[in-house]
A and B are shown apart, each in its own frame.
Chain A
Amino acid sequence: MFADYSWSELGSIFAMQGFAGLVLFSVFVLMALGLAIIFGQMGVINMAHGEFMILGAYVTYLTTNVVEAVVPGLMPVSFFVAMVLAFFAAGALGMLVEMGMIRFLYKRPLDTLLATWGLSLILQQTYRTIFGAREVGVTLPDWMMGSLPLTDIIEIPINGLIVMAITLAITLAVAFIMFRSRFGAQVRAVVQNRAMAGAVGIDTERVDRLTFGLGCGIAGIAGSAFTMIGSTGPSSGQLYIVDTFLVVVFGGATSLIGTVASAFTISQAQSTMEFFLSGSMAKVLTLLTVVGILMLRPQGLFVLKVRR
């Protein structure tokens, strides 16, 4: 399969596909981080995670449209305003859902899965009723468009770079929150031993609610970032939910580093193969490999050692 290409072409192909893989990696990390917090830390399966992402995307769409119509001068920074709004909108909805539904189901993880699936259907139909069935795109400010030529063949799209920068910032922020802040210490305490955490005075219910809200908020940011590279429809969220869950499980559900590592592996494998095989076969092969590895090593790549 390599015979038709010269060495320099091959190098460029790998560089370009590698970059496409890096963008995919960023998107996976953004999607999976929120899920890793909710699923890994709390053990809750949130099948509506994709719909929280889409909420973020729609908030971005609305915000940029409003800014464009009312204060066109702010357009260059509208995207970042939208991203913050997306975080709070998705986070607030997440906390409401936790209060109304999830907290009654912590002891029944499989039932949470069904209930959140129901929630995802309702959210999808809500989006369809409000925004219509057509996919919508966000108007990006001019400076985010275009690409930087690196060599004759290699061109780096700017929006990809921005997505990567956002991912880096969010990942660092999450790492800081989880491992350096008081709240993170409380979350980890609750995960490792709920009863003891409660006994030392941590309000475990409040921690649960905020953790769930944080995870959903990050999903909102992911959706917002996603509008830079694709359009958004009411059922776009469902397309990503399986990928995202596999990323989280493959990385080892309780380990955030594992999530990043597995997002990297899966996205690079997929985008490199996509060039040589058809898109669907690349996806099938990637997913099969991941499922195969999970069958051999069910605990995932990285395991958090906790005595229970």
Chain B
Amino acid sequence: MTAFLNSPKKTELIGFVLLAAVILLVLPGITDAFRLNMVGKYLTYAFVAVGLVLCWGSAGILSLGQGIFFGLGGYCMAMFLKLEASTPEATSIQSTPGIPDFMDWNQITALPAFWEPFHSFAFTILAVVAVPAILAFVIGFAMFTRRVGGVYFAIITQAIAAILTILIIGQQGYTGGVNGITDLRTLNGWDIRTDSAKTILYFVNAALLLGVIGLSMAVRSSKLGRILVALRDKEDRVRFSGYDVAAFKIFVFCFAAAISGIGGAMFTLQVGFMSPTFVGIVPSIEMVIFCAVGGRHSLIGAVYGTLLVNFGKTTFSESFPELWLFAMGGLFIAVVMAFPNGLAGLYKSHAEPLLERFFAKAGERRVGSAEAPAPIAE
């Protein structure tokens, strides 16, 4: 049993199975429909956190603009849903029926060309992944081939997040402005606002998240994943060994962006709107803290970190709104100064030795794993 626990691959697998049990069985079991929808919303942020584990934890690229990709994915889905909600019959009181209501309010009389393709569901699904990935490719190609990294990359991504927010808010007629795209009703005729639809969407979201984590695990355990770690720790040596460092960085950045896009689309579906508040600098940095709290090297930890911080945020802002920013700020500082490896690091240094001793003592005796705290794989 001890040897079994020590093997890193097996630990990760156990962690994955436990995580699946937590999000598919435990959380739906103990929460009502309203809270479950909220958990589902948090889990969409976990897509971003998982992307950051790959990008920041594995490859050492800290992007402060992951909200861009989350937002783009979310906006793509929102545009599709909005077009579906704006049929000529439903919008017959507008001066131009058949276009989204906010366009009508802004004296726009025809659907802008970039909205047209979003009539198609297949195109939307593609765009949710492709639009963030393409933008990430452009940014990554420009930056990484010129060997810009570290803090410069962080600042530039942050600036791009700022630009996108200003653009969305400024171009009210095309994007819905500061309110975002609201009043979304149906997905291909299926009402997404009912409790049953929200429950189904929760499970779709959870399954997608688990799939993404599985895929990310595969990436990390492949040779590609090991090169990412190598270039994080000694970029020059990897370059001198003949690898094209930029290509690997661009890949992982695009991958993280695509994942975040999926998260954004699921967010729109579950919450029923998308707005620039999820795109800008502040949400982008908050997403980094989700990842940091969970442990920047742990895919599974990122999910727990996201859940924990968001539960904390909801609880605090319901009862002590004053204290939330103090708690959040303290969390940032603590996670950097005291627990650089987050929850996963704490598990590894405190819970794992305990577990090992427990299993060593128990020997052949059958033990239930239900009592053990949820392991977070490194």
Q: Which residues of A contact B (CB under 8 A)?
A: 43, 45, 101, 104-105, 108-115, 117-125, 128-129, 238, 242, 245-246, 249, 278, 280-281, 283-284, 287-288, 290-291, 294-296, 298
In the bound complex, do residue A242 and residue B170 qualify as a contact, i.e. CB atoms below 8 Å apart?
no
Contact of A298 among B148, B288, B336, B340 (CB under 8 A): B148
> Contact between B329 and A245 (Cβ–Cβ < 8 Å)?
no
CB atoms of A114 and B332 under 8 A apart: yes
Which residues of B are interface residues toward A (Cβ below 8 A)?
56, 62, 64, 142-143, 146-148, 150-152, 154-156, 158-160, 162-163, 166-167, 169-170, 281-282, 285, 288-289, 292, 322, 325-326, 328-333, 335-337, 340
**Chain B residues, Cβ within 8 Å of A117:** 285, 332
**Which B residues touch A242, using CB under 8 A?**
158-159, 162, 281
Among B146, B154, B285, B332, the residue within 8 A (CB) of A295 is: B146
A246 touches B166 (CB 8 A): no
Give the CA-CA distance A119 to B285 in the complex, in Å.
Answer: 13
Nearest CB on A from B318, distance (A): 17
Q: Evaluate contact between A118 and B154: CB separation under 8 angstroms.
A: no
Query: Distance (Å) between the CB of A208 and the closest chain B CB?
Result: 17
> What CA separation (Å) do A117 and B292 show in the bound complex?
13
A114-B288, A122-B330 known; A291 vs B159 contact (CB < 8 Å): yes
With A104-B337, A111-B340, A125-B322 as contacts: A298 and B143 at CB distance below 8 Å: yes
Main secondary structure of the interface of A (DSSP, over half): helix
8 Å CB contact of B332 from A45, A118, A296: A118
Contact, CB under 8 Å: A245 / B158: yes
From A45, A122, A246, name the one whose CB has the most chain B CB atoms within 10 angstroms.
Answer: A122
Interchain nearest-CB distance for B152 vs A (Å): 6
Specify which chain A residues have a CB less than 8 angstroms from the CB of B326 in the assembled complex: 121-122, 125
Using A108-B336, A128-B325 as known contacts, list a sample of 18 further A-B pairs with CB atoms less than 8 Å apart, ordered by residue number in A: A101-B337, A109-B150, A117-B285, A118-B329, A118-B333, A121-B328, A125-B326, A238-B282, A280-B166, A280-B169, A284-B163, A284-B167, A287-B163, A287-B166, A291-B163, A294-B156, A295-B142, A298-B152
Contact A101 B150 (CB under 8 A): no
Query: Which residues in A have their C-beta under 8 angstroms from that of B322?
Result: 125, 129
Quick one: given A278-B170, A287-B159, are A111 and B325 in contact (CB under 8 Å)? no
User: Are B152 and A115 touching (Cβ within 8 A)?
Assistant: no
Point out the residues of chain B lying under 8 angstroms from A290, CB to CB: 159
A295 to B141, CA, bound (A): 9
Name which of B162, B292, B328 has the most chain A CB atoms within 10 A of its CB.
Answer: B162
The reply to whether A110 and B154 form a contact with Cβ atoms under 8 Å apart is yes
User: What's the least CB distance linking B371 to chain A, in Å?
Assistant: 35
Chain B residues within an 8 Å CB radius of A112: 336
